[in-house]
Structure 1
Amino acid sequence: MKKFHIGFGNHFIQSWHILIHATVFFLFPWYFKLQYGDESVDFAYKAALYAFLIVFIPHMILHLRYWWINHGMAIEFKKNTISLSLRDRNFDFKYSDIEFVELVESNASANNTLQWFPWDSYSYAKLCLSSGEVVVVTSLLVPHLKIPFKLPRTKLVKATFCWPSKLK
């Protein structure tokens, strides 16, 4: 029995990559100063700022989208059922109620290769129930989508940017 909810640890797991990028972009101007002198520092600061924003803004937008989808949600995987708490409502359904699962992962994550961009660690699963309902579970709710059971009838979709759209 495992219960997941969005907490500080989940935010950190998904966002620590941006700290690495920020450190590299912060050190970039210092490298230029040492290598080429003071006249290159202005250019290096601008280039580092623009590069950081190009990486940071899409990452933050995706992170907020994942948070918006699963904030206030808790999911608990029991022996035969899944309990879903969404703000003031509770749902229980059996594993057998899952008709199929659409798992969307980044190309880097699906191919087990190096994740160059901070958004490469984001993924989500659409649990399509036999009742017609769709439950979206993001990697912000369940880190790395390490769901403690084998997903039935899973269709893997690889994407460059895992943006959950067309939600019911």
Structure 2
Amino acid sequence: MKTSFLRPLLEAAVLLMVLLGGLRWVLGLFSRNTHVYQPTAGRQLRLAFWSALALGCGLSVVPAVALKDEPANKLEWVLAAGFGAVVLALGGPALLLHLRYWRLNQATAVVFQPQENRLEVYEAGQRIPFAQRDLRRVERVTCSARHSFWASYDYLRLHLADGRVITLTSLLTNLEPLTQFLRSTPTDRRSVAWCWV
């Protein structure tokens, strides 16, 4: 019973990964280098892959114990629940961050061309008007837990002179080149264990 339930799911996951990898390779042949960064399916998959895989594999133990032919004893339930709790503690925070970042930047696009001294931020298709001289402070927050599932989640906040704050997350792109581009603006760098915005 357990293998008849899990095998189609694993086959579908492998097929989806192969299809997405092939599609990315084919699109990479015909695409040109872009300077527009926005949340894409590939970027989201790259960030959330290991945490989603861990949660999917780890939490499948509890239904497997519940659906097996003979009733499970207490030890099996304790082991399954403990394993599920550990996997949830490891992968859950990364998926929470992913959902939070997606909510913040789902409609955000960044046009970044350092050679042309160009940085533009669009929210829902509308350009947020600001120039580099309008920036009062840049806040760069990175993750100090380098070996966790949420290590690649970080963010950058642009504090403008008029009080507005623009938040750019790692769901858009790698933020380090953008931070280097804004090095003439006072930058506060912090490293925290979990980069919640």
Give the TM-score range, shorter chain.
0.7 to 0.9
CA gap of 1:161–1:47, structure 2 versus 1, over 3 A, is same
- The count of aligned residue pairs is 150
* Alpha-carbon shift at residue 67 of structure 1 (Å): 0.6
Cα deviations across residues 5-35 of structure 1 (Å, max 9, x unaligned)?
0001221221123156458848x9xxxxxxx
Cα deviations across residues 66-120 of structure 1 (Å, max 9, x unaligned)?
1111111101124233222111421243223222101111113xxxxxx232122
Question: Helix, strand or coil for the counterpart of 2:196?
Answer: coil
Separation in 2 of the partners of 1:127 and 1:24?
38
Let me know the Cα RMSD of the aligned residues: 2.9
Higher relative contact order (CA 8 A, sep 6+): 1
Separation in 2 of the partners of 1:66 and 1:132?
21
1:5 to 32, 38, 56: 38
Show the counterpart of 2:156. 125
Identity, % of aligned pairs? 24
1:160 matched to 2:193: yes
Corresponding letter in the other structure for 2:168: V
After TM superposition, list the pairs within 5 Å mapping 1:96-111 onto structure 2: 96-108=133-145
Structure of higher CA gyration radius: 2
2:47 to 3, 7, 14: 14
> In the alignment, is the contact (CA less than 8 A) between 2:55 and 2:88 conserved in 1?
no
CA gap of 1:60–1:88, structure 2 versus 1, over 3 A, is same
Separation in 2 of the partners of 1:43 and 1:158?
36
Q: Which runs of 5+ in 2 are unaligned?
A: 1-33, 62-72
Corresponding letter in the other structure for 2:167: V
> Which has a greater percent of strand?
1
> In the alignment, is the contact (CA less than 8 A) between 2:159 and 2:165 conserved in 1?
yes
